Amino acid sequence: MADKRKTGSKSAAVWPNRFKGQVAVVTGAASGLGQGIALRLAREGAKVALLDLNPERLRNTVRDFKRTGLAAFPFVTDVSDDASVRSQMAQIEQQLGPPDLVVHSAGIVGPTNTFIVDYPVEAFDQIYAVNLRGSFLMTKYAVAAMLPRKSGSILLIASVAGKEGNPMMCGYSSTKAGVIGLVKGVAKEYAEQGITVNGLAPAVVMTEMVRQTAPEQVAYMTAKIPMKRLGTIEEVAAMATFIVSRECSFATGFTFDLTGGRSTY
């Protein structure tokens, strides 16, 4: 049997009751990593609210979940918009109950293979709004919803680009570094309140976002991975679900690594 450390895991060893009775909120849930994480949470018993900006992909995702016998609850949300996040988080609480865990995966890549002198200001404003302002808003309303019960786990999907700084994508690298700073600071605010805030920094995993990235940029990022392969959505889902599970009870403020050896901190 192939060693999954060499090939990358494509299957999930599901623990059916790990999240039984828990309410999960996943953003960016209509595609890629968010979708994979939401699927695993649902398979392991969570009631999952799927948040995404794209209504059509959200509908398709709910249909796919239903086909495999899993319930999912769609909420069209723009994570960069205060009113949208506030009202959808209130709606989720009313419909499903207060969230036990929130995984924030929605994000955009912005211009790639682009020097800062050529990087449009409007593109920077947009990537800031989605990646950093969106992380701030999701964390703000997630913490507010968890505080009354003094219990909950929040996971923000950052990126190795935020730890290491990928050249030619300054909007992405800097907003993801901001997400890591947000995790470190906010985690300490609530460390005594039963709420954990962590990050996850993957290297390249083939999703729609990577398909929208300049091939030269993908080649640069892939060449930096000592394992000489891409990560898989299943590997991201495995680590993400561990981080928000009750087993991961003594870690907060940390951005976990998932880079095949690229960053070792």
Catalytic positions? 172
Q: Tell me if 70 sits within 8 A of 62, measured CB to CB.
A: no
Q: Tell me if 96 sits within 8 A of 73, measured CB to CB.
A: yes
Q: Does 9 bind ligand NAD (CB under 6 A)?
A: no
Which window, 18-26, 50-58, 113-121, 190-198, contacts ligand NAD (CB under 6 A)? 50-58
Q: Does 235 bind ligand NAD (CB under 6 A)?
A: no
Which window, 11-19, 62-70, 110-118, 205-213, contacts ligand NAD (CB under 6 A)? 205-213
Q: Tell me if 188 sits within 8 A of 179, measured CB to CB.
A: no
Beta strands in the chain (DSSP E): 23-27, 47-52, 73-76, 101-104, 152-157, 195-202, 255-258
Q: How far apart are CA 65 and CA 77, in angstroms?
A: 19
Q: How far apart are CA 172 and CA 149, in angstroms?
A: 35
Helix (H/G/I), strand (E/B), else coil: 170:
helix
Q: How many residues bind ligand NAD (CB under 6 A)?
A: 30
Site for ligand NAD in 17-46 (CB under 6 A): 27-28, 30-34
Site for ligand NAD in 62-81 (CB under 6 A): 77-80
Q: Which is nearer to ligand NAD, 80 or 252 (by Cβ)?
A: 80
Q: Does 57 bind ligand NAD (CB under 6 A)?
A: yes
Q: How far apart are CA 105 and CA 158, in angstroms?
A: 8
Q: Does 162 bind ligand NAD (CB under 6 A)?
A: no
Binding residues vs ligand NAD (CB under 6 A)? 27-28, 30-34, 52-54, 57, 77-80, 105-108, 130, 134, 157, 159, 202, 204-205, 207-210
